[in-house]
Chains A and B, each alone.
Chain A
Amino acid sequence: MASGDLEGDLEALHPAAFCWALRCCGGDRDAAEETVQATYLKIVSGRARFAGRSSFKTWLFGVVRKTASEERRRWRLRALALGFLARRPAAEPVRSAADPAARPAAVQRLRHALARLSRRQQQILHLVFYDDLTIEEAAAAAGVSVGTARTHYERGKQALRRHLGEERP
């Protein structure tokens, strides 16, 4: 892939990549930004190369997920080295933009309900509903088997509906 094409493709997918990083970092905006930047660094320096075995988006999301997990590990090690087990500062919820179609209360309920799911369930639901990936693509991006992804998808959806019902005012 040519450098210009690569940059254009990455730019087109940048908002989706950031949202995915946000999900992989448990809603921590700063960590998500660091993750996306570290992902771009991997791509620029050639440590991550697109081999065409999947769609570009699936590949990029896979790199973001792996980078997020490495960053999390680095943070834990750094915290241990400093002698305290403080986690990163609590994730700051993404503020609602002035979007009349956004229905802030409903979106807020969705985020609360999502936060109660397991990390894997959150990731699979995000990939399928946010990014319109198929279960197979979501499995590749999340680094799990298709069967596992399907199970997380079904159980996650059930749990999400249950939590949304509980949170309904």
Chain B
Amino acid sequence: MTRPDPDRDLRELFAASRRQEAAQAPPFDRLWQRARAAARSAPARAARRLGYAAAAAGVLAAALLLWRPVFHETEPALEASILAWRAPTDFLLETPGAELLSTVPKLGAETGALFPAALAAGPSENRVD
């Protein structure tokens, strides 16, 4: 004795739905012929894509070659403008007597130049020998 199918109701419903949907299927020949035509044109399409890619790479390479010299020409001008630039507050650093800081002092001559009155007065009374 065979056991009754517990899912018979579902099977019947699905079968009815399948009949409806299968009747809506597009004709096989149409899809098959389209697929065959697409397969035939595939190599040409691939070659065209390769051509586009090569052209794009060529344009990119040419752009890089043309762009590099322009970059080098602008470089020295850029350097000069940086070297010529002066800060507007530089004058604040020019203090009186700043020249002393840039030279090595010499005993005697330099002192006389700085303090001539002291030299003319001769040795001081307070001087201890």
Contacts and interface: CB of A to CB of B under 8 A. Distances in A.
Task: Answer yes or no: do A and B interact.
Answer: yes
Interface string A1-42: 000000100110011101100100000010001001110110
A155 B22 CA distance: 26
A94 interface: yes
- Contact-residue bracket for chain B: 20 to 34
Binding site of A, secondary structure by majority: helix, strand, loop or mixed?
helix
B20 A107 contact: yes
A10 B36 CA distance: 14
Binding site of B, secondary structure by majority: helix, strand, loop or mixed?
helix
Contact of B21 (A19, A33, A45): A19
Contacts of B20: 94, 96-97, 99, 102, 107
Contacts, number: 86
B31 A33 contact: yes
Interface stretch (B5-13, B55-63, B83-91, B118-126): B5-13
A97 B16 contact: no
Interface of B: 7, 10-11, 13-14, 16-26, 28, 31-32, 34-36, 38-39, 42
